[in-house]
Structure 1
Amino acid sequence: MEAPPDPRATWDLPGFGRMPRTAELEPLVTRVLAPNPSGMTLDGTNTYVVGAPGSGQAVLVDPGPDDAAHLAAVEAALAAREARCVAVLVTHHHGDHAEAAQPWGAHFDAQVAAARSDVAGARGRLLEPGERLALAGTAVDVVPTPGHTGDHLAFRLESGAVLVGDHVLGRGTSVVTHPEGDVVAYLESLRRVHDLGPSALYCGHGPELTEDPAAVLEFYLAHRAYREEQILAALGDGSGTVDELVATIYAAYPREVWPAASQSTRATLAKLVAEGRVEDDGAAVRRA
Protein backbone atom coordinates (compact mmCIF):
# COMPACT_ATOMS: atom_id res chain seq x y z
CA MET A 1 0.00 0.00 0.00
CA GLU A 2 1.70 3.15 -1.23
CA ALA A 3 0.82 6.71 -0.33
CA PRO A 4 -0.44 8.78 -3.26
CA PRO A 5 2.21 11.19 -4.56
CA ASP A 6 1.78 14.83 -3.62
CA PRO A 7 2.09 16.90 -6.83
CA ARG A 8 3.39 19.87 -4.83
CA ALA A 9 6.59 17.96 -4.06
CA THR A 10 8.02 19.06 -7.42
CA TRP A 11 6.69 22.61 -7.35
CA ASP A 12 8.81 25.65 -6.62
CA LEU A 13 7.09 26.63 -3.37
CA PRO A 14 8.73 28.73 -0.65
CA GLY A 15 10.23 26.72 2.21
CA PHE A 16 8.64 26.77 5.63
CA GLY A 17 9.19 30.17 7.24
CA ARG A 18 10.13 31.81 3.94
CA MET A 19 6.78 33.13 2.82
CA PRO A 20 6.86 36.92 2.39
CA ARG A 21 4.79 38.87 4.91
CA THR A 22 2.85 40.58 2.12
CA ALA A 23 2.44 39.39 -1.46
CA GLU A 24 0.50 40.60 -4.49
CA LEU A 25 -1.05 37.39 -5.87
CA GLU A 26 -3.07 38.90 -8.72
CA PRO A 27 -4.72 42.25 -9.47
CA LEU A 28 -7.67 41.32 -7.26
CA VAL A 29 -5.76 39.88 -4.30
CA THR A 30 -3.06 40.76 -1.79
CA ARG A 31 -2.07 38.20 0.84
CA VAL A 32 -0.91 39.28 4.30
CA LEU A 33 0.65 36.63 6.54
CA ALA A 34 -0.23 36.79 10.24
CA PRO A 35 2.56 36.32 12.81
CA ASN A 36 1.08 33.15 14.36
CA PRO A 37 3.13 30.24 13.00
CA SER A 38 2.72 26.83 14.63
CA GLY A 39 2.46 23.16 13.87
CA MET A 40 -1.24 23.64 13.10
CA THR A 41 -1.17 27.06 11.42
CA LEU A 42 2.00 26.33 9.41
CA ASP A 43 3.63 29.66 8.43
CA GLY A 44 0.70 31.54 9.98
CA THR A 45 -2.82 32.52 8.97
CA ASN A 46 -3.21 34.02 5.50
CA THR A 47 -5.42 37.11 5.44
CA TYR A 48 -6.58 38.13 1.96
CA VAL A 49 -7.29 41.67 0.81
CA VAL A 50 -9.65 41.43 -2.18
CA GLY A 51 -10.93 44.17 -4.45
CA ALA A 52 -10.91 45.51 -7.98
CA PRO A 53 -7.97 47.85 -8.64
CA GLY A 54 -9.10 51.46 -8.65
CA SER A 55 -12.35 50.71 -6.84
CA GLY A 56 -11.11 52.34 -3.64
CA GLN A 57 -12.58 49.42 -1.70
CA ALA A 58 -11.49 46.01 -0.48
CA VAL A 59 -12.81 43.02 1.41
CA LEU A 60 -10.79 41.22 4.08
CA VAL A 61 -11.08 37.44 4.10
CA ASP A 62 -10.08 35.62 7.30
CA PRO A 63 -8.58 38.44 9.39
CA GLY A 64 -7.03 35.85 11.70
CA PRO A 65 -5.66 36.72 15.13
CA ASP A 66 -6.52 40.08 16.71
CA ASP A 67 -2.89 41.16 16.66
CA ALA A 68 -1.73 44.79 16.45
CA ALA A 69 1.22 44.05 14.17
CA HIS A 70 -0.98 42.02 11.83
CA LEU A 71 -3.58 44.81 11.73
CA ALA A 72 -0.84 47.30 10.85
CA ALA A 73 0.36 45.06 8.00
CA VAL A 74 -3.20 44.73 6.67
CA GLU A 75 -3.72 48.49 6.89
CA ALA A 76 -0.50 48.97 4.93
CA ALA A 77 -1.78 46.59 2.25
CA LEU A 78 -5.04 48.53 2.09
CA ALA A 79 -3.12 51.79 1.76
CA ALA A 80 -1.00 50.34 -1.05
CA ARG A 81 -4.21 49.53 -2.89
CA GLU A 82 -5.64 52.96 -1.99
CA ALA A 83 -8.64 51.12 -0.62
CA ARG A 84 -10.78 51.10 2.50
CA CYS A 85 -12.18 47.92 4.01
CA VAL A 86 -15.90 47.56 3.29
CA ALA A 87 -16.51 44.01 4.57
CA VAL A 88 -14.88 41.19 6.53
CA LEU A 89 -15.58 37.64 5.32
CA VAL A 90 -14.77 34.54 7.38
CA THR A 91 -14.37 30.99 6.06
CA HIS A 92 -15.09 29.30 9.41
CA HIS A 93 -15.24 29.88 13.14
CA HIS A 94 -11.80 28.66 14.29
CA GLY A 95 -10.00 31.38 16.20
CA ASP A 96 -6.92 31.51 13.99
CA HIS A 97 -9.25 32.69 11.20
CA ALA A 98 -12.07 34.46 13.02
CA GLU A 99 -10.72 36.01 16.22
CA ALA A 100 -10.20 39.46 14.70
CA ALA A 101 -13.41 39.47 12.65
CA GLN A 102 -15.65 41.48 14.98
CA PRO A 103 -12.91 43.74 16.44
CA TRP A 104 -11.67 44.61 12.96
CA GLY A 105 -15.21 44.98 11.65
CA ALA A 106 -15.73 47.63 14.32
CA HIS A 107 -12.33 49.18 13.63
CA PHE A 108 -13.04 49.58 9.91
CA ASP A 109 -16.80 50.18 10.37
CA ALA A 110 -17.31 47.23 8.03
CA GLN A 111 -19.90 44.45 8.19
CA VAL A 112 -18.71 40.97 9.15
CA ALA A 113 -20.14 38.08 7.13
CA ALA A 114 -19.90 34.38 7.98
CA ALA A 115 -21.95 31.20 8.13
CA ARG A 116 -22.46 31.42 11.91
CA SER A 117 -24.11 34.21 13.87
CA ASP A 118 -21.56 34.03 16.70
CA VAL A 119 -18.82 34.79 14.16
CA ALA A 120 -20.73 37.47 12.24
CA GLY A 121 -21.92 39.23 15.39
CA ALA A 122 -25.10 41.15 16.12
CA ARG A 123 -24.54 43.60 13.23
CA GLY A 124 -23.19 40.95 10.90
CA ARG A 125 -24.53 39.09 7.91
CA LEU A 126 -25.18 35.35 7.65
CA LEU A 127 -23.93 34.02 4.35
CA GLU A 128 -25.97 31.57 2.31
CA PRO A 129 -24.31 28.85 0.22
CA GLY A 130 -24.39 29.71 -3.45
CA GLU A 131 -25.03 33.42 -3.10
CA ARG A 132 -23.01 36.00 -5.02
CA LEU A 133 -21.67 39.03 -3.19
CA ALA A 134 -21.13 42.28 -5.09
CA LEU A 135 -18.35 43.95 -3.12
CA ALA A 136 -15.32 46.16 -3.75
CA GLY A 137 -15.93 46.41 -7.48
CA THR A 138 -16.00 42.65 -8.01
CA ALA A 139 -18.13 39.56 -7.40
CA VAL A 140 -17.45 36.89 -4.80
CA ASP A 141 -19.30 33.57 -4.92
CA VAL A 142 -20.01 31.80 -1.63
CA VAL A 143 -19.14 28.10 -1.97
CA PRO A 144 -20.25 25.66 0.76
CA THR A 145 -17.31 23.49 1.80
CA PRO A 146 -18.32 21.73 5.03
CA GLY A 147 -16.09 18.96 6.32
CA HIS A 148 -13.17 20.53 8.16
CA THR A 149 -15.94 22.17 10.19
CA GLY A 150 -19.67 22.26 9.67
CA ASP A 151 -19.73 25.98 8.90
CA HIS A 152 -16.81 26.07 6.45
CA LEU A 153 -17.14 28.24 3.34
CA ALA A 154 -14.88 29.01 0.40
CA PHE A 155 -14.99 32.12 -1.77
CA ARG A 156 -14.62 32.02 -5.56
CA LEU A 157 -13.34 35.15 -7.26
CA GLU A 158 -14.04 36.47 -10.75
CA SER A 159 -10.50 35.50 -11.73
CA GLY A 160 -11.34 31.84 -11.08
CA ALA A 161 -9.21 31.63 -7.95
CA VAL A 162 -10.81 30.11 -4.85
CA LEU A 163 -10.04 31.20 -1.29
CA VAL A 164 -10.31 27.82 0.42
CA GLY A 165 -9.60 28.55 4.10
CA ASP A 166 -8.65 25.31 5.86
CA HIS A 167 -10.35 23.12 3.25
CA VAL A 168 -6.99 22.83 1.46
CA LEU A 169 -3.61 23.80 2.89
CA GLY A 170 -0.57 25.03 1.01
CA ARG A 171 1.47 22.30 2.71
CA GLY A 172 0.36 18.86 3.86
CA THR A 173 -3.31 18.00 4.28
CA SER A 174 -6.18 19.47 6.25
CA VAL A 175 -7.58 18.09 9.50
CA VAL A 176 -11.20 16.99 9.61
CA THR A 177 -12.04 17.90 13.18
CA HIS A 178 -14.07 15.53 15.33
CA PRO A 179 -16.88 15.56 16.21
CA GLU A 180 -17.77 18.75 14.32
CA GLY A 181 -16.00 17.65 11.15
CA ASP A 182 -17.46 15.20 8.66
CA VAL A 183 -15.34 13.17 6.24
CA VAL A 184 -18.24 12.43 3.86
CA ALA A 185 -19.07 16.14 3.64
CA TYR A 186 -15.38 16.94 3.26
CA LEU A 187 -15.00 14.62 0.28
CA GLU A 188 -18.11 16.10 -1.34
CA SER A 189 -16.69 19.59 -0.78
CA LEU A 190 -13.36 18.63 -2.38
CA ARG A 191 -15.25 17.45 -5.45
CA ARG A 192 -17.34 20.64 -5.46
CA VAL A 193 -14.24 22.84 -5.52
CA HIS A 194 -12.64 20.58 -8.13
CA ASP A 195 -15.70 20.97 -10.36
CA LEU A 196 -15.28 24.76 -10.24
CA GLY A 197 -12.05 24.36 -12.21
CA PRO A 198 -10.13 26.80 -10.00
CA SER A 199 -7.30 28.79 -11.55
CA ALA A 200 -5.62 28.94 -8.15
CA LEU A 201 -6.19 27.85 -4.57
CA TYR A 202 -5.48 30.53 -1.99
CA CYS A 203 -5.17 28.60 1.26
CA GLY A 204 -5.77 29.57 4.86
CA HIS A 205 -2.23 28.43 5.70
CA GLY A 206 0.82 27.88 3.57
CA PRO A 207 1.68 29.10 0.08
CA GLU A 208 -0.80 29.72 -2.73
CA LEU A 209 -1.28 26.82 -5.16
CA THR A 210 -1.30 27.99 -8.76
CA GLU A 211 0.56 25.41 -10.84
CA ASP A 212 -2.10 22.67 -10.99
CA PRO A 213 -4.91 23.19 -8.47
CA ALA A 214 -6.93 20.26 -9.82
CA ALA A 215 -4.03 17.88 -9.17
CA VAL A 216 -3.87 18.99 -5.53
CA LEU A 217 -7.59 18.39 -5.06
CA GLU A 218 -7.26 14.94 -6.65
CA PHE A 219 -4.35 14.19 -4.32
CA TYR A 220 -6.47 15.23 -1.33
CA LEU A 221 -9.20 12.81 -2.41
CA ALA A 222 -6.67 10.02 -2.92
CA HIS A 223 -5.05 10.79 0.43
CA ARG A 224 -8.36 10.33 2.27
CA ALA A 225 -8.91 6.97 0.56
CA TYR A 226 -5.36 5.98 1.53
CA ARG A 227 -6.01 6.83 5.19
CA GLU A 228 -9.10 4.61 5.14
CA GLU A 229 -7.06 1.71 3.79
CA GLN A 230 -4.38 2.33 6.41
CA ILE A 231 -6.96 2.09 9.19
CA LEU A 232 -8.38 -1.14 7.81
CA ALA A 233 -4.89 -2.61 7.39
CA ALA A 234 -3.87 -1.58 10.92
CA LEU A 235 -6.96 -3.27 12.36
CA GLY A 236 -6.33 -6.47 10.43
CA ASP A 237 -8.32 -9.30 12.02
CA GLY A 238 -8.11 -7.77 15.47
CA SER A 239 -9.23 -4.58 17.17
CA GLY A 240 -7.65 -1.38 18.37
CA THR A 241 -8.21 1.98 19.99
CA VAL A 242 -7.92 5.31 18.23
CA ASP A 243 -4.67 6.02 20.07
CA GLU A 244 -3.22 2.71 18.90
CA LEU A 245 -4.26 3.40 15.32
CA VAL A 246 -2.70 6.86 15.39
CA ALA A 247 0.54 5.51 16.87
CA THR A 248 0.74 2.98 14.04
CA ILE A 249 -0.34 5.12 11.10
CA TYR A 250 1.46 8.31 12.13
CA ALA A 251 4.58 6.72 13.60
CA ALA A 252 6.83 8.71 11.26
CA TYR A 253 5.18 12.04 12.11
CA PRO A 254 6.11 14.34 15.03
CA ARG A 255 4.06 13.61 18.13
CA GLU A 256 2.86 17.21 18.21
CA VAL A 257 0.58 16.46 15.24
CA TRP A 258 -0.87 13.29 16.78
CA PRO A 259 -3.79 15.08 18.51
CA ALA A 260 -4.88 16.48 15.13
CA ALA A 261 -4.30 13.07 13.55
CA SER A 262 -6.53 11.58 16.24
CA GLN A 263 -9.34 13.93 15.24
CA SER A 264 -9.06 13.00 11.56
CA THR A 265 -8.85 9.31 12.46
CA ARG A 266 -12.01 9.52 14.56
CA ALA A 267 -13.79 11.33 11.73
CA THR A 268 -12.67 8.68 9.23
CA LEU A 269 -13.79 5.90 11.56
CA ALA A 270 -17.24 7.50 11.77
CA LYS A 271 -17.47 7.24 7.97
CA LEU A 272 -16.31 3.62 7.99
CA VAL A 273 -18.81 2.74 10.73
CA ALA A 274 -21.64 4.39 8.78
CA GLU A 275 -20.65 2.35 5.72
CA GLY A 276 -20.67 -0.87 7.73
CA ARG A 277 -16.95 -1.52 7.18
CA VAL A 278 -15.94 -1.05 10.83
CA GLU A 279 -17.63 -1.72 14.17
CA ASP A 280 -17.13 0.45 17.26
CA ASP A 281 -18.21 -0.79 20.69
CA GLY A 282 -17.04 2.36 22.46
CA ALA A 283 -13.85 0.79 23.78
CA ALA A 284 -12.22 -0.36 20.56
CA VAL A 285 -12.88 -0.67 16.86
CA ARG A 286 -12.64 -3.70 14.58
CA ARG A 287 -13.36 -4.56 10.98
CA ALA A 288 -16.96 -5.57 10.36
Structure 2
Amino acid sequence: MTAPADPRGTWQLPAFGAMPRTADLEPLVTRVLAPNPSGMTLDGTNTYLVGAPGSGAAVLVDPGPDDPAHLEAVEAALAARGARCAAVLVTHHHGDHAEAALPWGARFGAQVMAGSGDVAGPGGRVLTGGDRLQLAGTTVEVVPTPGHCSDHLAFRIESGAVLVGDHVLGRGTSVVTHPEGDVVAYLESLRRVRDLGPAALYCGHGPELTEDPGAVLDYYLAHRAYREGQVLAALQGGATTVDELVASIYAEVPKAVWFAAAQSTRATLDKLRAEGRVEEAADGTVRPA
Protein backbone atom coordinates (compact mmCIF):
# COMPACT_ATOMS: atom_id res chain seq x y z
CA MET A 1 0.00 0.00 0.00
CA THR A 2 1.13 3.51 -0.78
CA ALA A 3 0.35 6.28 1.70
CA PRO A 4 -1.61 9.19 0.21
CA ALA A 5 0.35 12.40 -0.24
CA ASP A 6 -0.50 15.24 2.12
CA PRO A 7 -1.03 18.34 -0.06
CA ARG A 8 0.12 20.57 2.79
CA GLY A 9 3.63 19.21 2.35
CA THR A 10 4.28 21.79 -0.37
CA TRP A 11 2.47 24.70 1.32
CA GLN A 12 4.21 27.55 3.08
CA LEU A 13 2.81 26.89 6.55
CA PRO A 14 4.45 28.32 9.69
CA ALA A 15 6.88 25.99 11.41
CA PHE A 16 5.77 24.30 14.61
CA GLY A 17 5.99 26.86 17.41
CA ALA A 18 6.12 29.81 15.01
CA MET A 19 2.42 30.68 14.89
CA PRO A 20 1.76 34.23 16.15
CA ARG A 21 -0.14 34.56 19.42
CA THR A 22 -2.81 36.73 17.78
CA ALA A 23 -3.58 37.03 14.08
CA ASP A 24 -6.31 38.65 11.99
CA LEU A 25 -7.17 35.95 9.44
CA GLU A 26 -9.82 37.94 7.55
CA PRO A 27 -12.13 40.87 8.36
CA LEU A 28 -14.56 38.54 10.13
CA VAL A 29 -12.04 36.48 12.11
CA THR A 30 -9.23 36.95 14.62
CA ARG A 31 -7.37 33.95 16.02
CA VAL A 32 -5.84 33.87 19.50
CA LEU A 33 -3.49 30.97 20.24
CA ALA A 34 -3.73 29.47 23.73
CA PRO A 35 -0.47 28.73 25.58
CA ASN A 36 -1.09 24.97 25.83
CA PRO A 37 1.14 23.33 23.19
CA SER A 38 1.61 19.56 23.37
CA GLY A 39 1.83 16.46 21.23
CA MET A 40 -1.97 16.38 21.09
CA THR A 41 -2.79 20.11 20.93
CA LEU A 42 0.05 20.89 18.50
CA ASP A 43 0.88 24.63 18.72
CA GLY A 44 -1.97 25.08 21.22
CA THR A 45 -5.74 25.54 21.05
CA ASN A 46 -6.96 28.09 18.53
CA THR A 47 -9.58 30.42 19.94
CA TYR A 48 -11.47 32.48 17.37
CA LEU A 49 -13.28 35.80 17.51
CA VAL A 50 -15.91 36.12 14.76
CA GLY A 51 -17.86 39.27 14.00
CA ALA A 52 -18.53 41.92 11.41
CA PRO A 53 -16.09 44.86 11.57
CA GLY A 54 -17.71 47.83 13.24
CA SER A 55 -20.49 45.75 14.80
CA GLY A 56 -19.10 46.28 18.29
CA ALA A 57 -19.45 42.57 19.01
CA ALA A 58 -17.73 39.25 18.38
CA VAL A 59 -18.55 35.61 18.95
CA LEU A 60 -15.93 33.68 20.92
CA VAL A 61 -15.41 30.19 19.43
CA ASP A 62 -13.60 27.51 21.46
CA PRO A 63 -12.31 29.54 24.42
CA GLY A 64 -9.98 26.67 25.28
CA PRO A 65 -8.22 26.34 28.65
CA ASP A 66 -9.27 28.54 31.56
CA ASP A 67 -5.85 30.17 31.65
CA PRO A 68 -5.31 33.76 32.91
CA ALA A 69 -2.73 34.59 30.24
CA HIS A 70 -5.03 33.29 27.52
CA LEU A 71 -7.96 35.26 28.91
CA GLU A 72 -5.82 38.40 28.90
CA ALA A 73 -4.87 37.81 25.25
CA VAL A 74 -8.51 37.22 24.26
CA GLU A 75 -9.65 40.37 26.05
CA ALA A 76 -6.90 42.35 24.31
CA ALA A 77 -8.06 40.98 20.94
CA LEU A 78 -11.65 41.93 21.73
CA ALA A 79 -10.51 45.44 22.66
CA ALA A 80 -8.51 45.72 19.43
CA ARG A 81 -11.69 44.88 17.51
CA GLY A 82 -13.70 47.33 19.60
CA ALA A 83 -15.97 44.43 20.44
CA ARG A 84 -17.79 42.88 23.35
CA CYS A 85 -18.28 39.11 23.55
CA ALA A 86 -21.78 38.40 22.20
CA ALA A 87 -21.77 34.62 22.70
CA VAL A 88 -19.47 31.68 23.38
CA LEU A 89 -19.60 28.82 20.86
CA VAL A 90 -17.89 25.47 21.44
CA THR A 91 -17.14 22.85 18.77
CA HIS A 92 -17.04 19.92 21.24
CA HIS A 93 -16.71 18.99 24.88
CA HIS A 94 -12.99 18.16 25.14
CA GLY A 95 -11.34 20.25 27.82
CA ASP A 96 -8.74 21.90 25.61
CA HIS A 97 -11.66 23.54 23.75
CA ALA A 98 -14.41 23.81 26.35
CA GLU A 99 -12.84 24.26 29.79
CA ALA A 100 -13.18 28.07 29.79
CA ALA A 101 -16.64 28.16 28.21
CA LEU A 102 -18.77 28.49 31.35
CA PRO A 103 -16.45 30.69 33.45
CA TRP A 104 -15.74 33.04 30.55
CA GLY A 105 -19.39 33.07 29.51
CA ALA A 106 -20.21 34.23 33.03
CA ARG A 107 -17.40 36.80 32.94
CA PHE A 108 -18.59 38.29 29.66
CA GLY A 109 -22.31 37.90 30.38
CA ALA A 110 -22.57 35.84 27.19
CA GLN A 111 -24.65 32.74 26.48
CA VAL A 112 -22.72 29.51 25.88
CA MET A 113 -23.79 27.47 22.85
CA ALA A 114 -22.63 23.92 22.09
CA GLY A 115 -23.78 20.53 20.87
CA SER A 116 -23.99 19.22 24.43
CA GLY A 117 -26.05 20.46 27.35
CA ASP A 118 -23.17 19.68 29.69
CA VAL A 119 -20.99 22.16 27.80
CA ALA A 120 -23.70 24.78 27.24
CA GLY A 121 -24.59 24.69 30.93
CA PRO A 122 -27.62 26.17 32.69
CA GLY A 123 -29.08 28.93 30.56
CA GLY A 124 -27.01 27.83 27.58
CA ARG A 125 -28.24 26.76 24.16
CA VAL A 126 -27.85 23.29 22.67
CA LEU A 127 -27.13 23.64 18.96
CA THR A 128 -28.17 21.29 16.17
CA GLY A 129 -27.10 21.04 12.56
CA GLY A 130 -28.74 23.62 10.33
CA ASP A 131 -29.10 26.28 13.03
CA ARG A 132 -28.32 29.74 11.68
CA LEU A 133 -27.13 32.16 14.34
CA GLN A 134 -27.49 35.89 13.78
CA LEU A 135 -24.74 37.26 16.01
CA ALA A 136 -22.18 40.08 15.98
CA GLY A 137 -23.48 41.53 12.73
CA THR A 138 -23.03 38.28 10.79
CA THR A 139 -24.50 34.82 10.26
CA VAL A 140 -22.93 31.64 11.61
CA GLU A 141 -24.24 28.33 10.25
CA VAL A 142 -24.00 25.25 12.46
CA VAL A 143 -22.68 22.17 10.63
CA PRO A 144 -22.92 18.76 12.36
CA THR A 145 -19.55 17.00 12.24
CA PRO A 146 -19.70 13.99 14.59
CA GLY A 147 -16.90 11.46 14.38
CA HIS A 148 -13.97 12.82 16.37
CA CYS A 149 -16.52 12.68 19.17
CA SER A 150 -20.30 12.50 19.25
CA ASP A 151 -21.12 16.17 19.98
CA HIS A 152 -18.72 17.75 17.47
CA LEU A 153 -19.91 20.76 15.47
CA ALA A 154 -18.32 23.04 12.88
CA PHE A 155 -19.29 26.63 12.13
CA ARG A 156 -19.52 28.06 8.61
CA ILE A 157 -19.25 31.83 8.35
CA GLU A 158 -20.32 34.28 5.65
CA SER A 159 -16.89 34.40 3.99
CA GLY A 160 -17.23 30.67 3.21
CA ALA A 161 -14.61 29.65 5.77
CA VAL A 162 -15.44 26.81 8.17
CA LEU A 163 -14.25 26.66 11.77
CA VAL A 164 -13.70 22.91 12.04
CA GLY A 165 -12.50 22.35 15.61
CA ASP A 166 -10.75 18.98 15.87
CA HIS A 167 -12.48 17.57 12.79
CA VAL A 168 -9.49 18.71 10.70
CA LEU A 169 -6.12 19.83 12.07
CA GLY A 170 -3.70 22.31 10.56
CA ARG A 171 -0.95 19.70 10.87
CA GLY A 172 -1.24 15.92 10.64
CA THR A 173 -4.58 14.16 11.02
CA SER A 174 -7.26 14.05 13.66
CA VAL A 175 -7.96 11.26 16.14
CA VAL A 176 -11.24 9.37 16.09
CA THR A 177 -11.64 8.97 19.83
CA HIS A 178 -12.84 5.68 21.29
CA PRO A 179 -15.41 4.73 22.41
CA GLU A 180 -17.19 8.06 21.79
CA GLY A 181 -15.79 8.53 18.29
CA ASP A 182 -17.19 6.87 15.19
CA VAL A 183 -15.26 6.33 11.96
CA VAL A 184 -18.36 6.04 9.74
CA ALA A 185 -19.75 9.29 11.13
CA TYR A 186 -16.32 10.91 10.77
CA LEU A 187 -16.09 10.01 7.09
CA GLU A 188 -19.62 11.31 6.48
CA SER A 189 -18.71 14.55 8.25
CA LEU A 190 -15.57 14.97 6.13
CA ARG A 191 -17.71 14.67 2.99
CA ARG A 192 -20.28 17.08 4.41
CA VAL A 193 -17.64 19.76 4.98
CA ARG A 194 -16.03 19.09 1.59
CA ASP A 195 -19.40 19.48 -0.13
CA LEU A 196 -19.71 22.96 1.39
CA GLY A 197 -16.78 24.04 -0.81
CA PRO A 198 -15.04 25.82 2.08
CA ALA A 199 -12.99 28.91 1.25
CA ALA A 200 -10.73 28.11 4.22
CA LEU A 201 -10.51 25.70 7.13
CA TYR A 202 -9.85 27.32 10.50
CA CYS A 203 -8.69 24.42 12.63
CA GLY A 204 -8.82 23.79 16.35
CA HIS A 205 -5.05 23.25 16.36
CA GLY A 206 -2.37 24.27 13.91
CA PRO A 207 -2.35 26.87 11.14
CA GLU A 208 -5.31 27.89 8.99
CA LEU A 209 -5.69 26.01 5.69
CA THR A 210 -6.47 28.41 2.85
CA GLU A 211 -4.57 27.24 -0.24
CA ASP A 212 -6.75 24.25 -1.20
CA PRO A 213 -9.10 23.17 1.61
CA GLY A 214 -10.84 20.60 -0.60
CA ALA A 215 -7.54 18.82 -1.26
CA VAL A 216 -6.94 18.50 2.49
CA LEU A 217 -10.39 17.00 3.01
CA ASP A 218 -9.78 14.54 0.16
CA TYR A 219 -6.46 13.64 1.77
CA TYR A 220 -8.17 13.03 5.12
CA LEU A 221 -10.62 10.64 3.44
CA ALA A 222 -7.79 8.83 1.65
CA HIS A 223 -5.74 8.67 4.85
CA ARG A 224 -8.54 6.94 6.75
CA ALA A 225 -8.94 4.41 3.92
CA TYR A 226 -5.17 3.84 4.02
CA ARG A 227 -5.19 3.22 7.77
CA GLU A 228 -8.08 0.80 7.37
CA GLY A 229 -6.10 -1.11 4.76
CA GLN A 230 -3.10 -1.19 7.09
CA VAL A 231 -5.22 -2.65 9.89
CA LEU A 232 -6.51 -5.42 7.64
CA ALA A 233 -3.02 -6.17 6.32
CA ALA A 234 -1.57 -6.31 9.83
CA LEU A 235 -4.30 -8.71 10.91
CA GLN A 236 -3.57 -10.89 7.91
CA GLY A 237 0.08 -10.76 8.94
CA GLY A 238 -0.62 -12.16 12.38
CA ALA A 239 -1.37 -9.19 14.63
CA THR A 240 -4.23 -9.99 17.00
CA THR A 241 -4.40 -7.09 19.51
CA VAL A 242 -4.71 -3.32 19.35
CA ASP A 243 -1.24 -2.95 20.86
CA GLU A 244 0.24 -5.15 18.14
CA LEU A 245 -1.63 -3.26 15.44
CA VAL A 246 -0.42 0.11 16.73
CA ALA A 247 3.19 -1.08 17.05
CA SER A 248 3.09 -2.28 13.45
CA ILE A 249 1.16 0.55 11.79
CA TYR A 250 2.54 3.49 13.77
CA ALA A 251 6.16 2.35 14.10
CA GLU A 252 7.39 5.67 12.67
CA VAL A 253 5.23 7.77 15.02
CA PRO A 254 6.53 8.87 18.45
CA LYS A 255 5.38 6.45 21.13
CA ALA A 256 4.12 9.37 23.21
CA VAL A 257 1.06 9.58 20.93
CA TRP A 258 0.47 5.83 20.50
CA PHE A 259 -2.38 6.06 22.99
CA ALA A 260 -4.20 8.32 20.52
CA ALA A 261 -3.36 5.98 17.64
CA ALA A 262 -4.87 3.16 19.70
CA GLN A 263 -8.14 5.09 19.95
CA SER A 264 -8.37 5.53 16.18
CA THR A 265 -7.43 1.88 15.70
CA ARG A 266 -10.18 0.69 18.04
CA ALA A 267 -12.67 2.93 16.23
CA THR A 268 -11.54 1.45 12.90
CA LEU A 269 -11.97 -2.08 14.27
CA ASP A 270 -15.51 -1.17 15.36
CA LYS A 271 -16.28 -0.18 11.76
CA LEU A 272 -14.74 -3.34 10.33
CA ARG A 273 -16.54 -5.51 12.88
CA ALA A 274 -19.89 -3.88 12.00
CA GLU A 275 -19.17 -4.61 8.32
CA GLY A 276 -18.44 -8.26 9.09
CA ARG A 277 -14.82 -7.96 7.97
CA VAL A 278 -13.19 -8.80 11.31
CA GLU A 279 -14.16 -10.92 14.29
CA GLU A 280 -13.38 -10.47 17.98
CA ALA A 281 -12.82 -13.47 20.20
CA ALA A 282 -13.95 -13.75 23.82
CA ASP A 283 -10.42 -12.90 24.98
CA GLY A 284 -10.48 -9.62 23.03
CA THR A 285 -8.16 -10.71 20.26
CA VAL A 286 -9.16 -9.84 16.69
CA ARG A 287 -8.83 -11.74 13.44
CA PRO A 288 -10.04 -11.34 9.84
CA ALA A 289 -13.56 -12.69 9.35
The TM-score, its normalising length taken from structure 1, stands at 0.99
Q: 1:171 to 1:237 in 2, by over 3 A?
A: closer
Q: Is the 8 A contact 2:239 2:245 kept in 1?
A: no
Tell me what 2:284 maps to: 283
Contact 1:237 1:287 in 2 (8 A): no
Partner letter of residue 287 of structure 1? Answer: P
2:29, 2:49 within 8 Å by CA — same for their partners in 1? yes
Cα distance in 2 for residues equivalent to 1:231 and 1:118: 35
C-alpha distance in structure 2 between counterparts of 1:70 and 1:283, whole Å: 43
What amino acid maps onto 1:245 in structure 2? L
On the 8 A contact 1:21/1:32 being kept in 2, the answer is yes
Whole-angstrom distance in 2 between the partners of 1:16 and 1:91? 23
Residue 237 of structure 1: how far off its partner (Å): 5.6
- Residue 169 (structure 1) aligns with: 169
Aligned to 1:18: 18
Q: Is this contact kept in 1: 2:178–2:267, CA < 8 A?
A: yes
**AA at the equivalent of 1:250:** Y
**Shift in Å, 1:210:** 0.1
Q: Is the 8 A contact 1:85 1:110 kept in 2?
A: yes
Map of 2:181 onto structure 1: 181
Deviation at residue 238 of structure 1 after TM alignment: 3.6
Q: What secondary structure is seen at the aligned counterpart in 1 of 2:63?
A: coil
Q: How does 1:46-125 map to 2 (within 5 A)?
A: 46-125=46-125
1:4 aligns with 2:8: no
For 2:166 and 2:127, how far apart are their aligned partners in 1?
A: 18
Q: CA–CA distance in 1 between the matches of 2:130 and 2:105?
A: 23
| 1:74-94 deviations in Å (ceiling 9; x for gaps) | 011101100000100000000
Cα distance between partner residues in 1 of 2:123 and 2:33: 27
1:238-283 per-position Cα deviation (integer Å, ceiling 9, x unaligned): 4510000000000111000100000000000000111111111142
> Is residue 130–residue 142 contact of structure 2 (8 Å, CA) maintained in 1?
yes
Taking the aligned partners of 1:30 and 1:237, their CA distance within structure 2 comes to 49
Counterpart-to-counterpart distance in 2, 1:17 and 1:172? 15
Unaligned runs of 5+ in 1: none
Distance 1:23 1:238 in 2: 49
- Cα shift at 1:185: 0.1
User: C-alpha deviations, 1:124-162, integer Å up to 9, x for none?
Assistant: 111121110000000000000000000000000000000
Q: Is the 8 A contact 2:88 2:111 kept in 1?
A: yes
Q: Is the partner of 2:143 in helix, strand or coil?
A: strand
1-structure distance, mates of 2:70, 2:237 = 52
- What is the rounded CA distance, in whole Å, between the counterparts of 1:229 and 1:237 in structure 2? 12
CA distance in 2, matches of 1:58, 1:133: 12
Q: Distance in 2 between matches of 1:42 and 1:145?
A: 21
Q: How does 1:112-261 map to 2 (within 5 A)?
A: 112-236=112-236, 238-261=238-261
SS across alignment from 1:259: helix
Q: Distance in 2 between matches of 1:261 and 1:169?
A: 15
Give, in angstroms, the shift of residue 284 of structure 1: 0.8
Percent of aligned positions with the same letter in both sequences?
80
Deviates more, 1:275-284 or 1:72-81: 275-284
SS in 1 for 2:178: coil
Compared CA separation, residues 241 and 73, structure 1 to 2 (3 A): same
Aligned residues: 288
The runs of at least 4 consecutive aligned structure 1 residues that moved more than 4 Å come to none
> Secondary structure of 2:272's match?
helix
- Please give the secondary structure, in 2, of the residue aligned with 1:188: helix
CA deviation after TM superposition for structure 1 residue 49, in Å: 0.3
1:159 counterpart letter in structure 2? S
